[in-house]
Amino acid sequence: MIATQGIADANDATTVKKESDTEFDVPKEVVAFVKQLVEKHPETKAKHASMIAPFEEKYGGNFRADPFVATEWLVPEYSTKLPETNYEGVYLVTSRMFCGFRRGYKIPYHIIAKVAVTEHSDYKAGEGDELILVRSMLTLHFDGFVDVTFTPK
């Protein structure tokens, strides 16, 4: 069972805490979180729309924003000190701006959202070496939309 404890701060809908007695599918949770913000959080919705508008205007019916995909980008900490684990990471959630035309397509831009993730899980001993998850607490924080640049090394 997953229980959403709700927004961590009543004034900030960009952070959510969840608790579960089963493992979280973190990439799935991250995508659902960003999607919900883009659909329902007024400031995030407006910012997302403003990023898409130039492509809709230029390409019209030949444009689509692909579904969001989460990628674990950085993991500053993952530690296991049984009976608990702690995870701290950064996910980039991308949506390709797909522009098609008669004999091809191009992807001139990606919308990229940054989400900070922390997860704390408690376990108990089972039979033999088996560990049983007691509870997992997940915190997601939307750090906003970002640009990613590539620098040759």
Percent of the chain with pLDDT over 90: 57
Task: Please tell me the predicted confidence (pLDDT) of residue 12.
Answer: 67
- pLDDT of 9 strictly over 50: no
Q: How many domains does the chain have?
A: 1
Domain membership of residue 91 (yes or no) is yes
In order of 6, 28, 31, 123, 146, the CA distances from 35 in angstroms are 16, 11, 6, 31, 16
**More confident position, 78 or 93:** 93
Q: Compute the chain's Rg from CA coordinates.
A: 19
Q: Could you tell me the pLDDT band of residue 7, with boundaries at 50, 70 and 90?
A: very low
pTM: 0.86
Q: Is residue 31 in a domain? A: yes
65 occurs within a structural domain? yes
- Residue 153, domain member (yes or no): no
pLDDT tens per residue, range 39-57: 999 999 999 999 999 888 8
Residue-range definition of the domain harbouring residue 75: 2-146
